[in-house]
């Protein structure tokens, strides 16, 4: 049972990479002697993040199509052929028992080759609006693990299993010690705490909003933990004070969530899944600059269940202060949002995805 070999492919963004790593970690717990290989796109962040997690990775020469005619688009057919050939070589040499794709360009050619050779393949779709790679692969794979209802509009219904999205283990067992969290950030226990999450790189429009709103927050007696992102930290660290904690990156997300009374966040699939587990009232500001506007669709799926508030970037100047004031002044609303988003949590997602992989292994 310990001699299994697994290939995992997902990349381009942390939203594809970290679920793949989480799945690999769970497989490793169950099969300590198993062999693992990741396949990603050359020059993308997975080539750095996967080795940091302790796994080997091979890179394919692949990227997406640009929206306008560019030299990169002219090279696309050659990249696809190159990636299919290298994927065939990888699969032939590694001989995997199962292949898992979590989205991103590299998973396309790899899973196409693997499924064509009869190797059991599993897709994991994080978003409420399926990515193009996963849609193209849907008819070729054995199972598709999703996090949202209604995904049969993208995938064959008989292949769909609702598992949720993998999240970091430390959040599933996050610190409930409010005192520890407040001490860690140097915050005052008697003040309402706002946590601002723009992602590890940062979100320009969210940062502009927070900068403009600092006097407003001060008037309301709000203290802020502000993850500006490493691209913007130098611009905003000047606002560091007793009531405003500016950080490039949050290394202790468990304590950040523990300190928060209200959260402002982008609506990437991983963030949404984490925030469901955390169970705090959230204002989502989805990024409009992502494929198929999927962040807006992710946030809307929670808004429809009275589990979050969404303010689009184009509405921030007009609506933000009114929405925020209503939230901080209405304890019942905060309680309802927190309880409803918590009800949507699927903390066992990683285990359930691996359960589906195991079912395929047994059938071999």
Q: Which of 269, 310, 25 is nearest to 147 (CA)?
A: 269
For domain 5-164+347-362, give the CATH number. 3.40.50.2000
Q: Is 200 annotated as a binding residue?
A: yes
Q: Which of 292, 351, 355 is nearest to 153 (CA)?
A: 292
Q: Is 13 annotated as a binding residue?
A: yes
Q: Which of 96, 119, 90 is nearest to 36 (CA)?
A: 96
Strand intervals (E) in 10-82: 35-41, 57-60
Beta bridge partner(s), residue 99: 7, 121
Give exposure, 191-210, as e/b (b: 16+ Cβ within 10 Å). Answer: ebbbbbbbbebbbbbbbebb
pLDDT of the residue at 225: 97
Tens digits of pLDDT across the chain (364 residues): 458 999 999 887 777 888 999 999 999 999 999 999 999 988 888 999 899 999 999 988 876 655 555 666 667 677 788 888 999 999 999 999 999 999 888 899 999 999 999 999 999 999 888 888 899 999 999 999 999 989 999 999 999 999 999 987 666 555 567 888 999 999 999 999 999 998 766 789 999 999 999 999 999 999 999 999 888 999 999 999 999 999 998 888 889 999 999 999 999 988 999 999 999 999 999 998 877 788 999 999 999 999 999 999 999 999 999 999 999 999 999 999 999 999 999 989 999 999 999 999 988 7
Residue boundaries of the structural domains of the chain: 5-164+347-362, 170-344
pLDDT of the residue at 65: 54
Q: Is 168 annotated as a binding residue?
A: yes
Give exposure, 301-315, as e/b (b: 16+ Cβ within 10 Å). Answer: bbeeeebbbbbebee
Whether 5-164+347-362 and 170-344 share one fold: the answer is yes
Q: Which of 150, 192, 142, 172 is nearest to 276 (CA)?
A: 172
For domain 170-344, give the CATH number. 3.40.50.2000
Q: Is 127 annotated as a binding residue?
A: yes
Compute the chain's Rg from CA coordinates: 21
Q: Which of 132, 124, 138, 151 is nearest to 24 (CA)?
A: 124
pLDDT of the residue at 178: 83
pLDDT of the residue at 62: 78
Q: Is 350 annotated as a binding residue?
A: no
pLDDT of the residue at 200: 66
Distance CA 51, CA 29 (A): 18
pLDDT of the residue at 71: 64
Question: What 3-state DSSP class applies to 299?
Answer: helix
Q: Is 102 annotated as a binding residue?
A: no
Q: How many CA atoms lie within 13 A of 264 on its CB side?
A: 30
Distance CA 253, CA 171 (A): 7
Reported pTM: 0.84
pLDDT of the residue at 112: 95
Q: Is 163 annotated as a binding residue?
A: no
């Amino acid at each position: 049972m310990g001699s299994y070999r697994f290939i995992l492919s997902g990349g381009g963004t942390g939203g594809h990479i970290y679920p793949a790593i989480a799945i690999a970690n769970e497989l490793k717990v169950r099969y300590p002697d198993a062999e693992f290989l990741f396949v990603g796109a050359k020059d993308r962040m997975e080539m750095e993040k996967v080795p940091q997690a302790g796994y080997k990775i091979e890179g394919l020469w692949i990227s997406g199509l640009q929206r306008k005619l560019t030299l990169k688009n002219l090279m696309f057919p050659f990249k696809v052929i190159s990636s299919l050939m290298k994927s065939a070589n990888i699969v032939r040499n590694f001989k995997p028992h199962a292949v898992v794709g979590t989205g991103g360009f590299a998973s396309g050619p790899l899973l196409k080759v693997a499924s064509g050779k009869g190797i059991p393949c599993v897709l994991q779709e994080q978003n409420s609006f399926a990515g193009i790679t996963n849609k193209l692969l849907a008819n070729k794979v054995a199972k598709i693990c999703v996090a949202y209802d209604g995904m049969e509009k993208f995938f064959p219904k008989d292949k769909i299993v609702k598992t949720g999205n993998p999240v970091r283990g430390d959040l599933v067992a996050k610190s409930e010690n409010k005192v520890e969290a407040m001490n860690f950030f140097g915050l005052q226990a008697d003040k309402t705490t706002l946590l601002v999450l723009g992602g590890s790189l940062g979100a320009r429009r969210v940062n502009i909003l927070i900068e403009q709103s600092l006097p407003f927050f001060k008037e309301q007696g709000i203290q802020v933990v502000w993850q500006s992102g490493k691209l913007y930290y130098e611009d905003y660290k000047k606002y560091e004070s007793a009531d405003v904690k500016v950080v490039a990156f949050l290394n202790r997300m468990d304590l950040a969530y523990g300190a928060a009374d209200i959260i402002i966040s982008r609506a990437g699939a991983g963030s949404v899944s984490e925030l469901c587990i955390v169970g705090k009232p959230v204002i989502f500001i989805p990024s409009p600059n992502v494929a198929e506007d999927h962040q807006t669709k992710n946030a809307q799926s929670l808004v429809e269940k009275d589990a979050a508030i969404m303010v689009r970037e184009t509405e921030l100047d007009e609506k933000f202060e009114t929405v925020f004031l209503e939230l901080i002044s209405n304890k019942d609303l905060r309680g309802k949002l927190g309880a409803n988003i918590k009800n949507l949590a699927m903390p066992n997602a990683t285990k359930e995805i691996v359960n589906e992989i195991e079912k395929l292994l047994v059938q071999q």
